[in-house]
Structure 1
Amino acid sequence: MIISGDDPVSKGAQRFEVFTGAGKRREWPPEVKASIVAECYSGGEGVSAVARRHGLDPSQVYAWRRDLRKQLEAAGVVLPATEPEAPSFVPAIVEADVTVASSPKRRPHRRRRSTGAAV
């Protein structure tokens, strides 16, 4: 139940917030998009770090990369394979343990005597 004096609509706006910043979609020129995508391929930083530095979401930069790749392939430009480096393994050397530590000897368990007649 709403009491007429407590209705927030009847009181009117008591507080409002002003948002500053971009506030709308930003238009990025193709040259700027290409330079941001090139930063991702430079190998020094990952996509997330580049996106954060430019105030973008990483998914946006990934979309730009995909779009640029499609444009270049449509123009007939062959892109080098961007396969990650093959994992390298460190050889493991296993040596036989010459000194086997003997475990301390345990006493055999003694059976307890029953105290009383069995029923």
Structure 2
Amino acid sequence: MDIQVGVGRRRRWNDAVKGRIVAESYAPGAVVSEVARRHGLAPQHLFAWRKAARAGLLSLPAEDAPLFVPMVSELRPTGMAVEAAIPNATTISIEIGGAVVRAAAGVDPGWLRDVLRAVRATT
């Protein structure tokens, strides 16, 4: 039990701290009430901040995107030989600012997200 004596005062949270706490609450596996308790907030307060972030009134910190994404290059046959070399291959092509990213079925979504963010940052 926490008993406070003396003059009570409201805490003031700057937008950067609010954004960091909201981003923490959106992490995979995070429980909003646990994040709120860890930072000394009522869960309702954190839910209000999350609502503000969804409405665009509060900005979340940018994720630490890699500055350099290594490129893996391999020589592949062109034309008809590609279809023969990779039977039933399903790929999608994503064009961002003139760059084309091709992803095969089964690609790791986290890795693809990081690649797309890096391509978007450079275009």
User: What TM-score results when the alignment is normalised by the length of structure 1?
Assistant: 0.42
User: Quick check: which has more Rg, 1 or 2?
Assistant: 1
User: What TM-score results when the alignment is normalised by the length of structure 2?
Assistant: 0.40
Higher strand share: 2
Greater relative contact order (Cα < 8 A, sep 6+) = 2
